[in-house]
Amino acid sequence: MSLSNLTPIPELFVSPESAQKLKIEAGTLPSWDLTPRQICDLELLMNGGFNPLKGFLSQADYDSVVENMRLADGTLWPMPITLDVSEDFAAGIEPGQDIALRDQEGVILAILSVTDRWTPDKAREAEKVFGADDLAHPGVNYLHHTAGKVYLGGPVTGIQQPVHYDFRGRRDTPNELRAYFRKLGWRRIVAFQTRNPLHRAHQELTFRAAREAQANLLIHPVVGMTKPGDVDHFTRVRCYEAVLDKYPQATTTMSLLNLAMRMAGPREAVWHGLIRKNHGCTHFIVGRDHAGPGKNSQGADFYGPYEAQELFKHYADEIGIEMVDFKQMVYVQEKAQYFPVDEVPEGATVLDISGTELRRRLREGLDIPDWFSFPEVVGELRRTSPPRASQGFTVFFTGLSGSGKSTIANALMVKLMEMGGRPVTLLDGDVVRKHLSSELGFSKEHRDINIRRIGYVASEITKNGGIAICAPIAPYTATRRAVREMIEAYGAFCEVHVATPLEECEKRDRKGLYRLAREGKIKEFTGISDPYEAPTAPELSVDTTGVDVDNCAHQVILKLEQMGLIAGN
């Protein structure tokens, strides 16, 4: 049997001696501070996880990957790995230049020798890579609203790995895993990819997969960037460690993968297979709706449940790793065990708890049955996700100037303080501009920065169990979504659209701002010379025309009660 899966693979790091010299030289180069996603990509480029890539894709490779899932030389590679930068930074960089790539603390990790600089057609990239240019897809939303407008490509010279302070003993490079498998004499290794806590169905699935492939098992969870709203990786790793002893120690190991997922379904499955091959695996589990992001903007699934398996099967020989495919695992009550959904005995009672239902039970403090999960996992999840009435949350008011946002927000603050139990902080748009954003103007870019600052502060308050009430205009959908994602990582988010019509807002305008805007004396004024993108699905919409403030604030209280965020009287 060929043992090519256990021989070392190329890395992009220079020797420690060369790294010291390069670090000094790189200090004089233009430098780019990497985003969290770029740090994940760079780590896997440097350590061989993205082999055969030698750096960020050139324009020719990018075009070929987007169109055909292949590099320009024909090698199978389904995912564009590009260094996206701002237009301002790109304007000062020419092909032929070197740039230093730094982490968020300013540590130089690598040097990029720029060969290509181009402005991509992101709509085309979304359509080809994700199957639709639909902002409901988190990967598409990232592409349009977070990623930089210009791409740089070229080979990377690795100086040092990104530093991880957490779970260091569980993080392995591809070559470290290959050496581990060699040492233990493992020849056939099946990898299990996950971004969720492990429940009993996952355990049964992995047991069956290892038996079917006659292989040892690598539990290989992603701890880089996953889907917004996923359980944080600290909690997940504690869950994995809690159930690892349910597996036979001699045949199972776990390693953490610092991958930034794109949630690209079928293409992502092929990508995950190539990455696991680089880590020394011979088999890979592809389950139902692998790396699926959920529903599109029409309410349908982005990808078919077994589309990923079909695409993987098509390219299996080129990937060089065998697929172990599984249908959804469900619990059969009469047999007291799990079965693949297509093997359930006729007439049997099938029990299943969806991810949505699990979150509801955690949120409301309801029972989670033993047949579904392990007590240790449920305990960890309850620690991180206590019932909603004990969590921090954010109420985010948005609406035109003069709509009544600040007035309702003040009334709500008083009502919540009267109830007691959690500290309440009001982040009013004008007050935040005075204390946190006094240097900002009213351009779209500056408004976005201001709203993201508010969102960041609110997320910290929410994370620490408090209540944040925000009352900015927040005119742009994409920025409000970014704030929602920031906050929902730690607690609940209740968006309240104060939908008072423009005519009514103008009537109330004591400072005469609308009049000045109509006369052209105030530029970029929301509702007059700048657009207001009204929320399409806020948790609550209120119109303050002819309605007293107390009534509006009470509507918000009722909504918070309905969401389980405050206890009913």
- Residue that the structure tokens 């695996």 belong to: 281
Please name which of 289, 281, 192, 280 lies closest in space to residue 240, comparing C-alpha atoms.
Answer: 192
- Catalytically active residues, by annotation: 194-196
Phi, psi of 350 (to 5 degrees): -100, 130
Q: Are strands 150-158 and 116-118 parallel, antiparallel or unpaired?
A: antiparallel
pLDDT tens column, 360-395: 888 788 899 999 999 999 999 988 888 888 889 999
Local confidence band at 126 (pLDDT 50, 70, 90 cut-offs) = very high
Beta bridge partners of 102: 33, 108
Please name which of 368, 364, 394 lies closest in space to residue 379, comparing C-alpha atoms.
Answer: 368
Local confidence band at 179 (pLDDT 50, 70, 90 cut-offs) = very high
Give pTM, 2 decimals. 0.81
Q: What is the DSSP letter of 543?
A: -
Q: Are strands 55-56 and 150-158 parallel, antiparallel or unpaired?
A: antiparallel
Local confidence band at 1 (pLDDT 50, 70, 90 cut-offs) = very low
Q: Which two tokens stand for residue 351?
A: 């029990």
5/272 Cα distance (integer angstroms): 16
Local confidence band at 284 (pLDDT 50, 70, 90 cut-offs) = very high
Residue 3 confidence (pLDDT) above 60 = no
The contacts of residue 219 (CB under 8 Å, 6+ apart) are 192, 194, 198, 206, 240, 244, 247, 252, 253, 254, 255
Residue 2 confidence (pLDDT) above 60 = no
219/206 Cα distance (integer angstroms): 9
Beta bridge partners of 301: 295
pLDDT tens column, 241-263: 999 988 988 899 999 999 999 99
Beta bridge partners of 101: 32, 110
167/175 Cα distance (integer angstroms): 18
**Residue 322, number of CB atoms within 10 A of its CB:** 17
Give the distance from CA 475 to its chain's centroid.
Answer: 24
The contacts of residue 197 (CB under 8 Å, 6+ apart) are 231, 235, 236, 239, 240, 373, 377, 380, 381
- Mean pLDDT over the full length of the chain: 92
Q: Are 95 and 293 in contact (CB under 8 A)?
A: no
pLDDT tens column, 544-558: 998 898 999 999 999
Q: Are 194 and 219 in contact (CB under 8 A)?
A: yes
pLDDT tens column, 426-466: 997 777 878 887 888 778 888 888 999 999 999 999 999 99
449/479 Cα distance (integer angstroms): 9
294/156 Cα distance (integer angstroms): 34
Residue 568 confidence (pLDDT) above 70 = no
pLDDT recorded at residue 156: 98
DSSP for 490-524, please give it.
TSEEEEEEE---HHHHHHT-TT-HHHHHHTTSSSS
Q: Are 466 and 425 in contact (CB under 8 A)?
A: yes
The contacts of residue 367 (CB under 8 Å, 6+ apart) are 361
Please name which of 445, 450, 400, 444 lies closest in space to residue 427, comparing C-alpha atoms.
Answer: 450
Over residues 100-108, the mean pLDDT reads 94
The contacts of residue 377 (CB under 8 Å, 6+ apart) are 197, 198, 199, 239, 242, 243
Q: Are 540 and 499 in contact (CB under 8 A)?
A: no
User: In what helix (H) or strand (E) does residue 32 lie, and over which residues does it extend?
Assistant: strand 31-33
pLDDT tens column, 464-479: 999 999 999 999 999 9
63/50 Cα distance (integer angstroms): 18
Residue 267 confidence (pLDDT) above 80 = yes
Q: Prior bond to 52 cis, omega within 30?
A: yes
Higher-scoring residue by pLDDT: 214, 526? 214
